[in-house]
Amino acid sequence: MDQEAAKTARESLDLAFHMSNILETGLDRHTLSVLIALCDLGLNPEALAAVVRELRRETLSSTPSAPAHPPSF
Secondary structure string (H, E, C) spanning the chain: CCHHHHHHHHHHHHHHHHHHHHCCCCCCHHHHHHHHHHHHCCCCHHHHHHHHHHHHHHHHHHCCCCCCCCCCC
Task: Give a yes or no: residue 66 inside a domain.
Answer: no
Task: Give a yes or no: residue 69 inside a domain.
Answer: no
Task: Dump pLDDT digits (tens) for 29-71.
Answer: 999 999 999 999 999 999 999 999 999 999 888 877 655 555 5
Name which of 18-22, 24-28, 53-57, 58-62 the model is least confident about: 58-62
Domain that includes residue 29, residue range: 9-57
Instruction: Reply yes or no on whether the pLDDT at 9 is more than 80.
Output: yes
Task: Give a yes or no: residue 24 inside a domain.
Answer: yes
pTM of the model: 0.74
Q: Residue 10's pLDDT is what?
A: 93
